[in-house]
Amino acid sequence: MSTLIIGASAAGLATLESLRRHNYDAPITLLGAEPDLPYDRPPLSKHYLATTNPHPALRPEQHLANLNATFHLGDPAVALDAARRTVHTASGRTLTADNIVITTGLTPRKLPNQQPLTGVHVLRTLADATALREDLLARSAGDITTDGPRVVVVGDGVLGGEVAATARGLGCEVVLVGPQRGVLWGQLGEVVSGLLGEVHGAAGVELRLGTAVGGLTAVGGRVSGVELVGGEQLAAEVVVVALGAAPATEWLQGSGLKVADGVVCDEWCRAGEGIWAAGDVARWWHGGLNRLLRLENRTNASEQAAVVAANIAGQPTKYEPIPYFWTDQFTTKIQVHGIPAADAEVTVAEGSIDERRFVAHYRKDGRIVAVLGWNMPKQTRLHRKHLLPA
């Protein structure tokens, strides 16, 4: 009963670790597109970006060795035959297994017609983060002559907000451009988005919201800024495109699996006979919510992987989590349990907005759908009980 895991990151490694904890002793192979040992992504927009330190692996090498698995790194899967449970890789390997677990995550979106230009970045991988921080940390290098480079962040979601905060913390001049009315408006609504806007404004990030970017401007192969719809130009030495990301499923074309905004799975995270998915790439049936759901957050990767491992190890388990994510922007720490909505009614349940330390409840149709903490992580977790099924 061998297992082949495609994608060697948070969800892939957690699948491997959980299988071994279930005393599953059959052969396990991990296939990863990136050359690096599995590493953690959340620090890439936070500490890692702000320092010159190396990025540690998710687990020490000795721990990985003890898991007794075969790692094929730097070799992406290019095709899957679901009926035969066979994967073909870029280097020409053909791998088959009794169980295949898909944990390929996401691929960042780009601007329409985005040309490859020096100084333009996306942020998903360690290589992306290393390239971006080299540019952010550059002082008076080449044509970058200010104290820090001028940075335009395109995107007003979690990643855009975090990158803007980290770049500003490094002394860069930062403009954040996005189509929404506020940073994270669509996810967190007016009250919290408004407070986040104040945090960025007070720290000196220039917010240009409600504005779409038309394209990039360039001089001789290097980016010189962005052009807003309407024609205005913002000068920049560094542009970060943080427009969200799409499930990495191109390699599943023709596989026989159903792919629609992710790998579509049942309540057990099963995509087909002996085929499973976990993490950012998986869109599974959440029985509690009675709908398909796909989450892009760190705890989901580990928790969903643990459920897949239990199912492979013969302990049928449905996956019905309360979603959770956190984001750190400057010194503000936000924690969210549940699924907030921009049009939910928001009330402060503990602490106070004036002190910038509170827990808020998000209500829809009279029911609490999410709790959000602003600099109050422990207390926020205690409010999670309001989200548990009665």
Partner 1 sequence: MKIIVDQDKCVASGQCVTAADTVFDQRDEDGIVVLLTDNPSPELAADVHQAAAVCPALAIVVED
CA angle 276-282-284, nearest 5°?
85
Binding mask 116-135 for ligand FAD (x = CB under 6 A): -------xx-----------
Which of 6, 8, 40, 122 is in the footprint of partner 1 by CB under 8 A?
40
Task: Give 166 or 211: the residue with its C-beta nearer to ligand FAD.
Answer: 166
Residue 349 CB, nearest approach to ligand FAD (Å): 22
CB of 379 to partner 1, least distance (A): 8
With contacts defined by CB under 8 A, name the span among 134-142, 249-257, 282-290, 372-380 that binds partner 1: 372-380
* Residue 33: CB minimum distance to partner 1, A: 21
In angstroms, the CA 167 to CA 160 distance is 11
Distances (CA, A) of 230 to 42, 212, 214: 35, 9, 8
Q: SS3 of 45, please?
A: helix
| Cβ at position 46, least distance to ligand FAD in Å | 7
**58 touches which of ligand FAD, partner 1, none (CB within 5 to 8 A by kind)?**
partner 1
Is residue 283 within the footprint of partner 1 (CB under 8 A)? no
Measured over the CA atoms of residue 36, residue 42, residue 44 and residue 49, the dihedral's sign is: negative
Q: Which residues, numbered 273-302, are part of the site for ligand FAD (CB under 6 A)?
A: 279-281, 296-298, 301
Residues in the chain: 390
Say whether residue 215 binds partner 1 (CB under 8 A): no
Residue 224 or 300 having the CB closest to ligand FAD: 300
One of 298, 308, 332, 340 touching partner 1 (CB under 8 A)? 298
The residues pairing with 207 across neighbouring beta strands, listed in sequence order, are: 176
Which residues inside 314-333 make contact with partner 1, applying CB under 8 A?
Answer: 324, 326, 328, 333
Per-residue H/E/C for 125-182: CHHHHHHHHHHHHCCCCCCCCCCCCEEEEECCCHHHHHHHHHHHHCCCEEEEEECCCC
Size of site (CB under 8 A) for partner 1: 26
Residue 55 touches partner 1, criterion: CB under 8 A: no
Nearest to 167 by CA among 155, 147, 149: 149
Residue 171: count of CB within 10 angstroms of its CB: 15
CB of 255 to partner 1, least distance (A): 29
CA distance 31 to 4: 8
CB of 349 to partner 1, least distance (A): 16
Check: CB of residue 15 under 8 Å from CB of residue 106.
no
Among 2, 20, 22, 34, binds ligand FAD (CB under 6 A): 34
SS3 category, 228: strand
Draw the binding track, 39-78, toward ligand FAD (x: CB under 6 A; -: no contact): --xx-xx------------------------------xx-
Q: Which residues is 370 bridged to in the sheet?
A: 338, 362
Considering only 37-45, 213-221, 225-233, 375-383, which stretch makes contact with ligand FAD by CB under 6 A? 37-45
Among 1, 21, 139, 141, binds partner 1 (CB under 8 A): 21
Q: How far is 209 from 196, CA to CA, in rounded Å? A: 13
Contact 151, 174 (CB under 8 A): yes
- Collapsing DSSP to helix, strand or coil, 18 comes out as helix
Q: What is the 3-state secondary structure (H, E, C) of 105-119?
A: CEEECCCCCCCCCEC
Using CB under 8 A as the binding rule, whether residue 54 contacts partner 1 is answered as no
Quote the radius of gyration of the chain (alpha carbons, Å): 22
Whether the Cβ atoms of residue 9 and residue 36 lie closer than 8 Å to each other? no
Interface positions, 246-275, toward ligand FAD (CB under 6 A)? 248, 251
* Interface contacts to ligand FAD, rule CB under 6 A: 6-12, 31-34, 41-42, 44-45, 76-77, 103-106, 123-124, 159, 248, 251, 279-281, 296-298, 301, 325-327
* Interface contacts to partner 1, rule CB under 8 A: 14, 17-18, 21, 40, 42, 58-59, 298-299, 302-303, 306, 324, 326, 328, 333, 335, 375-381, 384
